[in-house]
Structure 1
Amino acid sequence: MNTPSASKVVLKAQELDGCLSDSDQRHLAEMGALYERALASFRVLSAGGAPSAVRAEEQNVISLYTEMGHLMQEICRENPALSVYSFLTGEESHAEASRVIAKLRDVRTDRHEFVYYSQRAYEMLFKLAYARGHSGAKNYLVVKTPVSEPVQCYAVHKIPGIDGQIENAVMCVMLRGALLPSMIMSKEIEEYSSHGYVTPFALFRISRSEAKTEADMEYVLNLGDSFFDLPALDGKDLIFADPMNATGGSLAAVLRYLQGQGIRPRSVSCFNVIAALKGALRTVRAFGGCTVYALWMDPVLNEKAYIMPGLGDAGDRLNGADDAECPRNVMQLIADYGADIADLYRSQLRKIERTVLEARR
């Protein structure tokens, strides 16, 4: 286990930008120019005015987003490691994803509803990565039902036989917004495993300076507040279920640290509800064999490294805001989820509790 210490690992944004190709930089510049035009329309819409003028500006925004969407699809076709749900599924599935993302973006969506739609989002992402188009072996679930007359009844259900893909997985949690999404993904793996496999968890405490801009951002991995069994990560399929991939910096900080410790995972998968184009490109460029699965891709970052149009602070919207003077630790976050979440994800919570307790020995 890692031992508590004050040691920190710092990764600078400039190190990540060096991974981007000339083609990536051209695409990002083109996307940025399109979004600047969209920002001009947002200003007109925010100011209001005659209904006819507002409708005309809305049509302009729709046209710009369509153009940005086509450009992102082109970039993803050139980079197969970028798997975006809304680009790879049929029209009916695209509509479902669009509706879920719209609810998550909406400022009127409260915390409980945000959790509900996050669960839906990760069910869809799991399907994208493991079950979509699966035509191989099947597993059979024989389920005892509540019906017992005239005899006890059972039902048989087929699911994809994907044990080999999921039963080597470890959930790597980049606190704090990623805690509940990681539990959701682990629960999906448990439900699709014919052996009821519950993933181990590795908990990493990552922060970034909000005083810095996107161009000079620093990502700090605090080992003293992280909990993981380092040798147990070697040769594993590492899964990062972070709702937002803005810059790719937090993921890179963890992976750079693991590489420096001699850890060689079998694979790395990043599951994001929304990934910014730049963050997704940095992720797959910096680490060969890494795959980004995103329900939706957003075009740009602002100077503070926030995704635009984004959905705000996913951690706050999932967990409620922390007191800046006294941020909650992982066990306090879990306690705040309440009985319903604790009961639904009890297998995952036992694993997390054991991880924290064993790391503190």
Structure 2
Amino acid sequence: MNENNVHIMTHPLIQHKISMLRDKQTGTNEFRKLIEEIATLMGYEALRDLPLEDVEIETPIETCQTPMIAGKKLAIVPILRAGLGMVEGLLALVPSAKIGHIGLYRDHVTHEPHEYYCKLPDPIDQRLIVALDPMLATGGSAIAAVDFIKQHGGKQIKFMCIIAAPEGLKRLQEAHPDIQIYVGHLDRQLNEDAYICPGLGDAGDRIFGTL
């Protein structure tokens, strides 16, 4: 297993905001804002290797060669529905990014993911793709989403989650050792119902107020 492809966030602001997310007293509006803020802070780290190219710019003083992001626009791909909560946080950093969507639901008995929707920006093979899901629990949904992205031709893939269980992180690493994984906080374990402990409950329900 390649440990170099996993990045566990240690920034105090990220840790503080994740603690606020965990609090069951945090309401829908604040929870939603925190998810966006954490996604922005994590995105700043996850996008540090975006390719640059020098372009000619005319300043008020003179013309110069200065770096700007190169290549096709970034593709942000939230895993529906909870991943939608992280999109605006990344768009704050890269407003021109293209957005795809992958729809998965988890069988409550087997805990395995099933696809119901997949729409990705074209040409996906020329873009850096950042897949988003606040929770990496069993790893099933993340693995399936990366599978779909690769099947559509995606090559350079990053996965961002706010909290992860060790079991899911290990499964995702083993299934896709070639992707970069960014984790806000690595939690203790999954419980018998495949929920992350201590976790923060159901991220989708808390983002959209459907408790």
How does the TM-score come out when normalised to structure 1?
A: 0.50
1:270 aligns with 2:159: yes
1:249 aligns with 2:137: no
Pairing of 1:129-278 with structure 2 (within 5 A): 129-131=46-48, 161=67, 163-164=69-70, 167-190=72-95, 198-210=96-108, 212=109, 216-222=110-116, 226=117, 228-229=119-120, 232-259=123-150, 261=151, 263-278=152-167
Partner of 2:171: 282
Residues 229 and 120 of structure 1: CA distance in aligned 2, closer, same or farther (over 3 Å): closer
For the residues of structure 1 that align with 2:163 and 2:40, how far apart are their CA atoms?
Answer: 14
Q: Secondary structure at the match of 2:103?
A: strand
Q: CA deviation at 1:292?
A: 0.8
For the residues of structure 2 that align with 1:109 and 1:239, how far apart are their CA atoms?
Answer: 27
Same amino acid, percent of matched pairs: 24
Residues 183 and 247 of structure 1: CA distance in aligned 2, closer, same or farther (over 3 Å): same
Residues 164 and 105 of structure 1: CA distance in aligned 2, closer, same or farther (over 3 Å): same
Q: Which letter does structure 2 place at the counterpart of 1:182?
A: V
Pairing of 1:326-337 with structure 2 (within 5 A): none
Partner of 1:338: none
Q: Secondary structure at the match of 1:221?
A: strand
Number of residue-to-residue matches in the alignment: 203
Partner of 2:9: 85
Residues 126 and 241 of structure 1: CA distance in aligned 2, closer, same or farther (over 3 Å): same
Larger-Rg structure: 1
For the residues of structure 1 that align with 2:3 and 2:48, how far apart are their CA atoms?
Answer: 21
Tell me the alpha carbon deviations over residues 166-208 of structure 1, each in whole angstroms, 9 at most, x when there is no partner: x542121211111121232133212xxxxxxx22222222001
How does the TM-score come out when normalised to structure 2?
A: 0.83
Residues 138 and 284 of structure 1: CA distance in aligned 2, closer, same or farther (over 3 Å): farther
Structure 2 gap segments, 5+ residues each = 61-65
Cα root mean square deviation, aligned: 3.0
The question of whether the paired residues in 1 share the 8 Å contact of 2:76 and 2:131 is answered with: yes
More strand by share: 2
Tell me the alpha carbon deviations over residues 255-282 of structure 1, each in whole angstroms, 9 at most, x when there is no partner: 32344x4x33231111111122221222
